[in-house]
Amino acid sequence: MAEAPPAGPNDEISVATSLLTSAAVVGCGVIGAGWASRLRLSGVDVCVYDPSPTVGTIIDEVHDNAVRGWEALGVMPDNVGSLTIASSLEDTVGGAGLVVESVPERLELKHATLVAIDETTGPETIIASSTSGFKPSVLAGPLTRPERLIVGHPFNPVYLLPLVEVVAGTATTEATVERAMTIYRSLGMHPLRVRAEIDAHIADRLLEAVWREALWLINDGIATTAEIDDAIRFGFGLRWAQMGLFETYRIAGGTGGMRHFIAQFGECLDWPWTKLMDTPELTDELIETIARQSDEQSGHLSIRELERIRDQNLASMLLALEQNGWGAGRTIAEQRRSQGGSKGTGD
């Protein structure tokens, strides 16, 4: 079984050979540390800046998990890029072909950080923000050279999930976007070009909808955190990982396909199946309920243990998809091809 041949710009698979030799990561928490690992595992030398005193520990712990993940996938390279932890932003970004900004999601902090990067790098450096929500034109507002800024929105864990949403601002040049897309492919990723700027891009708008509905279900005492997670992971979550939403519903329409599906379920959109347009107030009581239920559900495992379980599951799913020549498995297959075939476990 194999998917139909690529049809559009977002489906193109062509991995560039190493066109990036050095990169900088500014802000090295959950996402920045994940970027640092993916870059290093792709042979890129990485310099990071994060004022947190625990940055070294976070980088090491995340990188350990990343290595395990790449070993499980069988794509662990022979050579890994170097890591430098700098003591100032200015010492970090100079000379980097790509600067990844992953500081917290606050506009004034993003602006201050991006301006500092803008002032300290040459015009050929691509500046990529990991922002989950801001439009690139909003981020680029105070920059002197906004033409080289894009949003490159990844997904946690960055070192395993191939998707990166690529969004251009009004000032971003097409050359910048194309170069960024090529770089992302060289990192074993699947860059998805978002056609137009919109708050929260594509994926987080979908996730926000599910998140809101889940908050209502807890708020109204309908389901617990564990029950909601079961409703996802034993059912439609498995479908989503391999076919997404539309192809899944096309099949759900039987041989009549999408037209029959909409004829059958279209009316439900007007029924009270969702409270999506309304937001539950995050009262102390609701937050406590969610946090307590989450502790009961998963508190027996540390976050790092949960990450390792997640990563092992993701690697196995990606390998299964690769074997079937389908979805995200095709990105892994391409990464393996670009490495020159099967790699060892890296032991």
102 binds ligand NAD (CB under 6 A): yes
51 binds ligand NAD (CB under 6 A): yes
Among 50, 118, 322, 334, binds ligand NAD (CB under 6 A): 50
Asked if 131 and 105 touch (Cβ cutoff 8 Å), the reply is yes
Exposed e or buried b for every residue in 276-294, given b needs 16+ CB within 10 A?
A: eeeebeeeeeeeebbeebe
Tell me the three state secondary structure of residue 73.
Answer: helix
How far apart CA 89 and CA 93 sit, in angstroms, is 7
Half-sphere exposure of 285 (CA within 13 A, CB side): 6
For ligand NAD, give the closer residue by CB, 185 or 201: 201
Among 103, 160, 181, 314, binds ligand NAD (CB under 6 A): 103
Among 35, 49, 70, 261, binds ligand NAD (CB under 6 A): 49
65 binds ligand NAD (CB under 6 A): no
- Residue 163, token pair as written in the block: 């998707």
167 binds ligand NAD (CB under 6 A): no
- Residue 46, token pair as written in the block: 């990485």
Residue 211 CB, nearest approach to ligand NAD (Å): 12
User: Roughly what angle, to the nearest 10 degrees, separates helices 328-338 and 303-323?
Assistant: 80
For ligand NAD, give the closer residue by CB, 111 or 250: 111
For ligand NAD, give the closer residue by CB, 51 or 254: 51
Most distant CA atoms of the chain, gap in Å: 61
Q: Which residue of the chain is nearest ligand NAD when measured via CB?
A: 29
Q: Which of residues 124-163 bind ligand NAD (CB under 6 A)?
A: 130-132, 153-154, 156
For ligand NAD, give the closer residue by CB, 32 or 188: 32
Residue 292 CB, nearest approach to ligand NAD (Å): 22
- Residue 128, token pair as written in the block: 């990529």
Site residue total, ligand NAD (CB under 6 A):
23
104 binds ligand NAD (CB under 6 A): yes
Asked if 111 and 135 touch (Cβ cutoff 8 Å), the reply is no
Residue 25 CB, nearest approach to ligand NAD (Å): 9
Q: Within 10 A of 214 (CB to CB), how many other CB atoms are there?
A: 19
Stretch that binds ligand NAD, among 98-106, 179-187, 222-230, 233-241 (CB under 6 A): 98-106
For ligand NAD, give the closer residue by CB, 20 or 139: 139
Which DSSP helix (H) or strand (E) runs through 26?
strand 22-26
For ligand NAD, give the closer residue by CB, 31 or 41: 31
Q: Within 10 A of 35 (CB to CB), how many other CB atoms are there?
A: 28
**Residue 43 backbone class (left: φ over 0; alpha: ψ -120 to 50; beta: rest):** left
Asked if 135 and 197 touch (Cβ cutoff 8 Å), the reply is yes
Q: Which of residues 8-47 bind ligand NAD (CB under 6 A)?
A: 26-32
Residue 331 CB, nearest approach to ligand NAD (Å): 18
Give residues in contact with ligand NAD (CB under 6 A): 26-32, 49-52, 102-105, 109, 113, 130-132, 153-154, 156
